Structure 1
C-alpha cells in the first residue's frame, strides 16, 4: 500500500481486527447496496465532493484517472448505497490492502445507519478475502461523529505507520 500522507493535526489511524465478533450489515429500509461500475464514477466523485471539506481531492477529470489507475483500486471494493429514488446515498471506497479510503453518506441520507452498514459490509468482504484487519484514517476534531461510530464498531487507534 502506498504510504498515506503524513497526518494532519488530530488525524488518527483506526483498525478493526477481523475476528469472530463481526456482525452482518443491516441495510436501512428503502436503501440497498450494490457494486460499483465505471459509469458510477461521476456520481461517486460528486458525493465525495459534497461530503468532504477538501472536496473529492480535485476535479473529476483529474480524480478519476488517478483513482482508477492506482494499484490499490479494485472496483469490487467500492460499495454503493442507493436510495429508493435511485440516487447515490452513500459509498465506501476501499483500497485492496484493507484500507477504507473514503466513507461518505449524503447529508440527506444521514442518521439511517448507512455508514455503519457500509463498514460492516467492508469488514465482511475483507475477512472473506483473508485480511486480518481493516484500517482507515480520520480526524478526531473534524470528524468526531465518525470517530464515535468507528469506536462503536470496535475500531481502535494504532500507530500512524500501521
Structure 2
C-alpha cells in the first residue's frame, strides 16, 4: 500500500483488528447502502468537498483521475449511503489494502449512526477478503468526534508506518 501522506500535527493512525468483536452494520430507517456505480463519482466528490475542510483534494477531473487511477482503487470498496430522496448522505472510500481513505457523512445526516454502520460494513467486507485489520488516518483535533467514533468501534492507535 502506498503510505498515506506524512502526518500533520495531531494526525493519528488507527487500527481495528478484525476478530470476533465485529457486529453487523445497522442502517437507519430510510437509508440504504450500495457500492459506487457508474455516474456516482461527481456526487462523491461533492460530498467530500462539503464535508472536509480541505475539500476533495482538487477539482473533480483531477481528483477522479487520481482516485480511479490509484492501483488500490476498487469501486466495490467505495460504499455509498443513499437517503430516502435518493441523495448521497454518506460514503466510505476504502483502498484494497484495508485502509479507509475517506469517511464522510453529510452534516444533515449526522447523528443517526450512519458513520458507525459504514465502518462496521467496511470491517466485515475486509474480514471476508481475509484482511487481518483495517487502518485509517485522522486528526485528533480537527476530527475529535470521528476519533471518539473510531475508538468506540475498537480502533486503537498504531505506529504511523503501520
TM-score between both structures, scaled by the size of structure 1 = 0.99
Runs ≥4 residues deviating over 6 A = none
CA positional deviation for 1:3: 1.4
> 1:21-100 maps to which residues of 2 (within 5 A)?
21-100=21-100
CA distance in 2, matches of 1:155, 1:5: 20
Over the aligned positions, Cα root-mean-square deviation in angstroms equals: 0.5
CA distance in 1, matches of 2:129, 2:9: 33
CA positional deviation for 1:108: 0.4
Aligned to 1:10: 10
The CA deviation string for residues 105-145 of structure 1, in whole angstroms up to 9 with x for no partner, is: 00000001000000000000000000000000000000000
CA positional deviation for 1:4: 1.3
Partner secondary structure for residue 154 of structure 2: coil
CA distance in 2, matches of 1:124, 1:140: 25
- The number of aligned residues is 162
The CA deviation string for residues 7-65 of structure 1, in whole angstroms up to 9 with x for no partner, is: 00000000000001100000001101011113100000000000000000000010001
Aligned to 1:112: 112
CA distance in 1, matches of 2:144, 2:26: 23
TM-score between both structures, scaled by the size of structure 2 = 0.99
